[in-house]
C-alpha cells in the first residue's frame, strides 16, 4: 500500500463516511501523524465537501468537558468544521441509513453576531461577539471502529461530526447565566445524565474563545452568522433505531432526537 499523505487520509475518511464503513485508527499505520498534519487532513476533507456542493456553516468544538474527555481518553479539546449537509431539521430522525454507530450528546450552541479572530480572545470578548444562544444536540459518528482513536485521528476525522439539531428557543446570551444552564438527558423517558454549562470549560463562551484562538493560530477566524457547537456537556448516548432521546435545557427548552423506526424485515 502506498504511503499515507494528507490527501490520501482525507479521501479515505470521506470514503468511510460515504460507504458507512468503519476502520482502524490511521495512527496505527501512520504513527507520525501529528496534530498539525491532522488539521491539514481535516481542512482537506472540508475542501472535498465544498467541492461536492456543501456549504460551510460554522464550527464545532469537541472534548471540551471532562465527561467527554474521560470517555474518549483524550484530554485536549479540538475544533472541526460544520457544513449545511450536517443540519438535521427538528423532528427528523437520526439518518440511520447513512451512519455507522450514531451517538447523541447535548450541546450549547452559539450563533455569531460579529467576527472573532484569535489570538488573545477571552471569554468576555467571545461572549460579546455572540448574537444568540440555543440548546442543541449533536449526532456523532466516528469513522473509527468502536470510537477508538487517538487525538490526531479524531482531528483528521472532523471530530466524528455527522449531524446536529438546534432547539426552537434562541436567547441573547447576556440574558442568562450559561455556566448555570442545566441539561437533563433522557433516553426513552428515563433521565440518564445531567450537567450544566460550567461542564464546558467553565463556561461555553470559554470554549468559543478557545476555538477562536486555535483557529487564529492557523490564520483563520470565526465569521458572523456561523453556528458554533461548544461541545458535549455530558457523555454521549447511543441512538439506535427506536430510541427517543430528549435534552431538556433549563431556559433554552427541549431538543428531541428520534432514533427513527426499526428497519422492517
Shortest distance (Å) from residue 105 CB to ligand OOG: 6
Shortest distance (Å) from residue 230 CB to ligand OOG: 8
Asked if residues 140 and 100 have their Cβ atoms less than 8 Å apart, the reply is: no
CB neighbour list of residue 69: distance below 8 Å, 6 or more residues apart: 63, 75, 76
By beta-carbon proximity to ligand OOG, the closer residue of 160 and 213 is: 160
Burial label, 166 (beta-carbon count in 10 A; 0-12, 13-18, 19+)? buried
- Reported as half-sphere exposure (CB side, CA atoms, 13 A), residue 219 has a value of 3
Q: Which residues bind Mg ion (CB under 5 A)?
A: 138, 232
Query: Rule CB under 6 A: is residue 151 a binding residue for ligand OOG?
Result: no
Helix (H, G, I), strand (E, B) or coil at 107: strand
Query: Rule CB under 6 A: is residue 158 a binding residue for ligand OOG?
Result: no
Residue 147 binds which entry of Mg ion, ligand OOG, none, with Cβ cut-offs from 5 to 8 Å by kind? ligand OOG
Minimal CA–CA distance to 46: which of 94, 86, 104?
Answer: 86
CB neighbour list of residue 126: distance below 8 Å, 6 or more residues apart: 116, 205, 206, 208, 209, 212
Shortest distance (Å) from residue 157 CB to ligand OOG: 8
Q: Which x/- pattern over 68-87 shows residues binding ligand OOG (rule: CB under 6 A)?
A: x---x---------------
All three cell numbers of 159: 471530530
Scanning residues 93 to 112, which ones bind ligand OOG (CB under 6 A)? 105
- Interface residue with ligand OOG, options 232, 243, 249, 252 (CB under 6 A): 232
- Interface residue with ligand OOG, options 138, 181, 193, 214 (CB under 6 A): 138
Asked if residues 123 and 206 have their Cβ atoms less than 8 Å apart, the reply is: yes
By beta-carbon proximity to ligand OOG, the closer residue of 118 and 232 is: 232
- Interface residue with ligand OOG, options 142, 201, 206, 234 (CB under 6 A): 142
Residue numbers at the binding site for ligand OOG (CB under 6 A) = 60, 62-63, 68, 72, 105, 138, 140, 142, 147, 154, 159-160, 231-232
Amino acid at each position: 500500500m502506498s504511503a499515507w499523505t494528507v490527501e490520501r487520509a482525507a479521501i479515505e475518511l470521506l470514503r468511510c463516511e460515504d460507504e458507512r464503513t468503519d476502520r482502524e485508527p490511521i495512527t496505527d499505520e501512520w504513527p507520525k501523524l501529528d496534530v498539525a498534519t491532522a488539521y491539514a487532513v481535516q481542512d482537506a476533507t472540508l475542501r472535498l465537501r465544498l467541492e461536492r456542493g456543501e456549504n460551510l456553516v460554522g464550527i464545532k468544538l469537541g472534548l471540551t468537558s471532562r465527561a467527554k474527555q474521560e470517555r474518549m481518553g483524550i484530554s485536549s479539546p479540538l475544533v472541526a468544521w460544520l457544513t449545511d449537509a450536517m443540519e438535521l431539521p427538528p423532528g427528523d430522525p437520526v439518518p440511520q441509513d447513512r451512519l455507522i454507530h450514531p451517538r447523541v450528546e447535548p450541546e450549547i450552541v452559539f450563533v455569531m453576531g460579529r467576527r472573532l479572530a484569535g489570538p488573545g480572545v477571552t471569554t468576555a470578548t467571545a461572549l460579546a461577539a455572540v448574537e444568540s444562544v440555543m440548546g442543541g444536540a449533536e449526532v456523532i459518528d466516528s469513522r473509527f471502529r468502536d470510537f477508538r482513536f487517538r487525538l490526531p485521528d479524531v482531528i483528521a476525522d472532523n471530530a466524528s461530526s455527522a449531524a446536529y439539531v438546534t432547539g426552537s428557543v434562541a436567547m441573547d446570551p447576556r440574558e442568562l447565566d450559561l455556566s448555570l444552564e442545566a441539561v437533563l438527558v433522557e433516553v426513552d423517558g428515563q433521565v440518564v445524565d445531567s450537567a450544566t454549562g460550567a461542564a464546558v470549560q467553565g463556561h461555553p463562551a470559554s470554549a468559543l474563545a478557545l476555538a477562536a484562538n486555535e483557529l487564529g493560530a492557523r490564520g483563520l477566524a470565526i465569521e458572523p452568522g456561523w453556528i458554533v457547537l461548544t461541545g458535549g456537556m455530558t457523555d454521549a448516548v447511543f441512538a439506535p433505531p427506536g430510541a427517543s432521546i430528549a435534552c431538556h435545557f433549563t431556559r433554552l427548552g427541549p431538543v428531541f432526537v428520534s432514533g427513527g423506526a426499526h428497519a422492517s424485515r
